[in-house]
Each structure stands twice: as C-alpha cells, then as structure tokens.
Amino acid sequence: MMMTGIGRLGLALAFSVLAMAPSASQSQEPRPEEARLRAEVKTLASPAFAGRSGEGGRKTAQHLVEAFRALKLEPLFDGQYTQPIPDNEPGRILGQNVGARIVGSDPKLRDEWIVLAAHFDHLGVREGRLYPGADDNASGVAMMLEVARAIAQSPEASKRSLMFIGFDLEEIGLYGSRYFVEHSPVPLKQISLFITADMIGRSLGGVCDPYVFVMGSEHAPGLRPWIDQAAKERPLKVGMLGTDLLVLDRSDYGPFRAREIPYLFFSTGENPTYHTPDDRPETLNYPKLEAISQVIHKLVLQAASAPTMPTWIQAPENTIGEVATVRDILRSLLENQEMFKIGVAQLYLLNNTVRTLDAIVERGSITSTERATMVNVARLVLITIL
C-alpha cells in the first residue's frame, strides 16, 4: 500500500469504528466470565475457607455478604443479608443463608419473584484433610455471584423481582433451603421460578463431557423453549431429565418442588472426586462452567421480563429428548467399561437398555412402562456404577 493512502484510510477506519460503536457496546452487555468464575472457585476452595463448614462456613457467609454489598444489591431478609438458621437448643445458631434482592421495575410484575440459588457449604476439614468442594459447590456459588454481577451491572432493568441466595447446610440434609421455605421473606406463591445449580464444573462419571443436565422442566414444560433458546450456539448439550431419575432430593430444589413451585436444577453430575479431598479447583472445566453460567444468566433475564411465566403442572411431562440423553449416558459408560469395572451382568443390562432406548428414540415416543424401566436402570447405574 502506498504511503499517501494512509491518511484517507485512517479516516475511513475512524468512521467505521464510530459506526460500529453501538453494536460493539451491545455485545459487551455484562455476562458471566470465565476468569471471574475461576478466581471465585479458587477463593472458595482455598484452605482459608476450611471446606466451608463450621468457622469456614461463617467465613463463607461473610464473603457472600461482602460480594452482595459490593454489587450494591439490597439485603433480602428484613434489612439483613443473612438469615440465621437456629438449632433446636434455644440461642444456638446452626448456620445461615445469605441473600440479596433486586426489586422489579414493573409495578404489576414486581410482586413475582425469580430465585437463583446455590448452596455454599461443604464438608469442612476431616481427620486433618481439607475438603475443598470446588465442584460441590463452589462452581454453583461462582455462577450465582457472576449472574448477580452481570444483572446488577446491566443498564437493563428487570421487570420481575429477583433474589440471589447462598444456602447453608445443604450437605447435612438441605437444612438451609428447608428453613428458607418455612421462613421466606415473601409469600411462597409469589415465587414464580426457583433455579439452583449444584456441581456444574465437571461431567457425569468424568465421561459425559458436553452434557449439563437440567431437571424440573417436566413440571413446567413452558420453560423448555426458554432453556433451548438460552443454550443455543453454546458449546454444550443440555439434557433435560425428569427429577425422578435421581433417587432422593439431591439438592436444594427439594423443598421448592414439595411446594409445587416451578424449579430447574442444573448439574453436570457426580464424578470420581465427589465428596473427596480431590474435588479441587484445578480439576474443573472452566469454559464449560462459563457456558452453563451464561445459559442460566440468559434464562434469568428471560424470566425477569417475560409477559407471563410458565406454570406448574402436577403430572410430569417427559420428553423423547430425555430418552436420548439417558441413552447417551449409558453409551458413555459402556465406552469406558474398564474404568468403571462394569461386570458381565451389568454389561448385558446396559447393552440391552441402549438398544431398547435406540428403538424408542427412533419411534419418537415412550410408554409409561418403558419409561419406568428406563428410570430403574438409570437409578441402578447411579447407585452401582458411578
């Protein structure tokens, strides 16, 4: 290129940059970021937080209070960020939930609440060994804080009201979330949607890499197009599963489900480091954690301003997509059968089930008997293989 051309080219570039400015700033709409998620997981899993139990639990609660305060979010509980959970013994405190809120901008919709929660407690230090709980559930807490930050820093106002909550004492039996639903700062019928995430930084069995699982849409199928939309063009497979594939209430969605509040439970599933001292920050897949956090962020934004909310249906409505997801999981286990030490009888069952599920997916519909069998096999696999 000739020297004399530079002046004009420079001017043209300057104009095109100006012309692009509005769309460039739109694409920089705040959203969950990998580097921040990574830093938060590292902090929460560090020895300073002592596995987030006892003194470490109190320290984590304080850390969340400071995070909410720094974002200038309002306290959720009567002017306080913390909700103490009393022991049976009078005057003694077992732990504390931590919550913040954004009151909606729409005079009609602001009485409807969207809740985003993650449990922050873990197993502490046992026999001198730190349980860092990076996946369980520093990953979920980091997501919750990043979604809260992105929304707090967005110029776009939310029409509905939002709550961000860190639940305590999940590991000892969902104490924090149980206490919350019995002492909610708003009437429970005003909670339109509860979203929680527990362990979203790895993959089921360490072998189902692209998958994040979402449970709960079977009771509010109207949420499914929102999930699909939020997950579009992300490096993820979102597998929507019926909650009954899990044997017990495995996380804080339990008390909300019992009260028929529409809920979504995100998890990448158990992996070999589950509840061991090896659940460390360096074992997490941060691009995946970012992608999941961005899906949940989108979903919260959608719920925050949609004209109407999907409602609870009593009889679960499952999809054929669920069958394909279960088949993919079983196939991944079969591909790694030596690692999981799958025995001859289990091998026979798994191969048979995969073949049956293939035929069902092909057919495009599943009978209730077939689904009951699939659920039994899936539960058996969760208990005996993973």
d(CA 75, CA 98): 9
Query: What character string, x for contact with Zn ion (CB under 5 A) and - otherwise, covers 348-367?
Result: --------------------
> What CA–CA distance (Å, rounded) separates 17 from 28?
15
Residue with nearest beta carbon to Zn ion: 136
Q: How far is the CB of 264 from Zn ion (least distance, A)?
A: 19
Positions in 55-94 near Zn ion (CB under 5 A):
none
Nearest approach in angstroms of CB 201 to Zn ion is 13
Residues 212, 227, 256, 186, CA torsion sign: positive
Q: Residues 98 to 157: which contact Zn ion by CB under 5 A?
A: 136
Minimum Å distance from CB 240 to Zn ion? 22
Number of residues in contact with Zn ion under rule CB under 5 A: 1
Comparison of 136 and 322: residue with beta carbon closer to Zn ion: 136
Distances (CA, A) of 121 to 41, 124, 277, 303, 360: 13, 8, 15, 27, 41
Q: Least CB distance from residue 357 to Zn ion, whole Å?
A: 29
Q: Closer to Zn ion at the Cβ: 149 or 250?
A: 250
Q: Which is nearer to Zn ion, 38 or 250 (CB)?
A: 250
If the CB atoms of residues 72 and 275 are measured against Zn ion, the closer one turns out to be 275
Residue 279 within binding range of Zn ion, rule CB under 5 A: no
Q: Smallest gap, in angstroms, from Cβ of residue 275 to Zn ion?
A: 6
Q: Indicate the residue among 136 and 328 with the shorter CB distance to Zn ion.
A: 136
Residues 6+ apart with CB under 8 A from 132: 45, 46, 51, 122, 138, 277, 279, 280, 281
Minimum CB separation from Zn ion for residue 167, in Å? 12
**C-beta closer to Zn ion: residue 40 or 136:** 136
DSSP secondary structure string, 63-132?
HHHHHHHHTTPEESBTTBSEEEEE-SSTT-EEEEEEEEEE--SSTTGGGSEEEEEEE-----EETTEE--
Q: Which residues between 164 and 183 bind Zn ion (CB under 5 A)?
A: none
Contact 135, 201 (CB under 8 A): yes
Taking the C-alpha atoms of residue 45 and residue 42, their distance in angstroms, rounded to an integer, is 5
Binding site for Zn ion (CB under 5 A): 136
